[in-house]
Amino acid sequence: MPPLGTFAFVLHTHLPYSRNAGRWPHGEEWLYEAASETYIPLAEMLLSLPADLRASVTMSMTPVLVEQLASSAVLSGAHEYINDRAERATSDISRFEKQGDVGMAGLASYYRDWYLARGAALSRTLSDSLVTPFRDLQAAGRAEIITSGATHAFLPLLSRDSSVYSQVKTGVESYRSHFGSDPAGFWLPECAYRPATVDAAGTRRPGLEAFLEGQGLRFFFVESHAVTGGTVPDPSDLPGFYRLGQTTPPGQRPIGGPAGSYVTARPYYVGNSSVAAIARNQRLSQQVWSADYGYPGDRHYREFHRKDDVSGLQYWAITGPGVDLGSKQPYDPSAAAARVSDHARHFAARVVEELAQQNQQHGPGALVTAVFDTELFGHWWFEGVQWLRQVLLLLGEDQRIRIMPVREHLDQFPPDAAVDLPVSTWGAGGDDRTWRNDLTQDLWDTLHRLEPWVEDLATRYSPDRQEWFLQAAREFMLAASSDWPFLITTGQAASYGRRRFESHVERFELLRRMILADTVSPHGRDYLQQTMTKDELFPDLQPEWFTARQGCAT
């Protein structure tokens, strides 16, 4: 029987630059939590799959994250974090035993063994950096690694094409440096796409696909509504979610082309480019993401938010919808494992159903994707890595399904049609309101003020100030991260997001003044070294990547 089509797990892997930016609750702690709970377990799992299993995942890894994972200091910090967690669990064993709580002592033993196993894997497989296992996964055919914008900047809201170009170019060059090959795919940060447009001066700016094509990239991902059209939810219940001056009432808003004009099960060339857009399959993705019926909300799974007052470890289960944190029941790993098996079988069956339906309409070239944030697995959803393993085993053994890198699917089934995509994101309302609104507009005003300055500096600095310019460029790119306005809008860490943005802007402006000054004092040289140590990334950055190119994508 010929295959029904191709299924692709797509995992978007990203954390903002967190090195030397504080520890708990924000900063380097993010890196070590994600490394111990997601990146290391995920790499272990994928590398342990049977050699003859036909299964792989597509993983975007943002350059700003890869640069951090490549650091020996981050590798050392991950070791320390895991050892600390194992020691906390060991201490909890004694505490619970003294209290006569055999069940909680058993859970503490479970965590001690779990963290010791992660530490052993870290020592066994990672000789130089946390990037190593992902290079190994790509070499073994278990993962297709793709790149993204350098610092995960929200590309459609950047006012200068030099800013877009430098994000894409730096992302590609960073990938080449760390993975030793050319990337085939690109993750648009926040799935934020912008077609060709005309700026205030009347210059026609290329669509984002032109920047990707100029760097030899072949595909990127968009949210489903960018292709299918129709309507998307239009939430207005959070402060700042309306863009400035927006008057659209709550409810549904139209986006894209006429509903039903295109489908998510086929890749399309974008405009007249050779770059393909691939849309997320909403039905499969929502089976995990949905707050109402998604698997991670099952009552047997571990509760993320309740933590032990002494050790900070998580000893409780979700228990049920609406159960307050104080009423959570103890976590049972064996009961959770049973639910993992149930949910894996259910999801695998849904993939087969979806591909069978798409096959009837589009033939064996159908491509169905389920797209998730990588950090969901293991960190937010503790059992998620094992769920992913079981789904891969089930589908990899099913002769009706192809599970292959997106690049290979495009080789076998290249697009036979083109689409003109609208402005779109995977954020609230399908537009940019999560990142640009009355809470964050001042950030964009600041970035738009800095962008021409970066272009100017790229051609005006004197030869002896090149290091100053390159560090100023790094600070500008870090300030442009989409994480800062996201944290402000959602209120998850609003003060932290604003502080991080302002600190990178301040460093840029100080370095700019030093570049333009007649002389630089010893204090200025010390400041440069301190800043280079604090924000240490993209060592291969080139000044020409930042020169003015409005209206040009290359």
Which active-site residues does the annotation give?
190, 373
Rounded to an integer, what distance in angstroms lies between the CA atom of residue 168 and that of residue 176?
A: 13
Full DSSP string of 400-425: TEE---HHHHHHHS----EE-PPSB-
* DSSP β-bridge partners for residue 268: 277
Full DSSP string of 114-154: HHHHHHHHHHHH-SS-TTHHHHHHHHTTSEEEEEE-TT-B-
Cβ atoms of 273 and 213 within 8 Å: the answer is: yes
3-state SS of the chain: helix, strand, coil percent to 5? Answer: 50, 10, 35
Reduce the secondary structure of 266-317 to three states and give it as a string: CCEEECCCCCEEEECCHHHHHHHHCCCCCHHHCCCCECCCCCCCCCCCCCEE
Count Cβ atoms within 10 A of the Cβ of residue 291 and give its class: 0-12 exposed, 13-18 middle, 19 or more buried. Answer: exposed
Number of neighbouring beta carbons within 10 Å of residue 52: 7
Q: Which residues contact 252 (CB under 8 A, 6 or more apart)?
A: 231, 232, 233, 234
User: What is the biggest distance separating any 2 CA atoms in the chain, rounded to whole angstroms?
Assistant: 75
C-alpha distances out from residue 87 to 13, 91, 94, 381, Å: 28, 6, 11, 23
Number of neighbouring beta carbons within 10 Å of residue 433: 25
Dihedral over Cα of 94, 98, 102, 107: its sign: negative
Residue 191: which of 372, 68, 18, 365 has the closest Cα? 372
Residue 424: which of 228, 172, 160 has the closest Cα? 228
Cβ atoms of 431 and 243 within 8 Å: the answer is: yes
CA 69 to the chain's CA centroid: 14
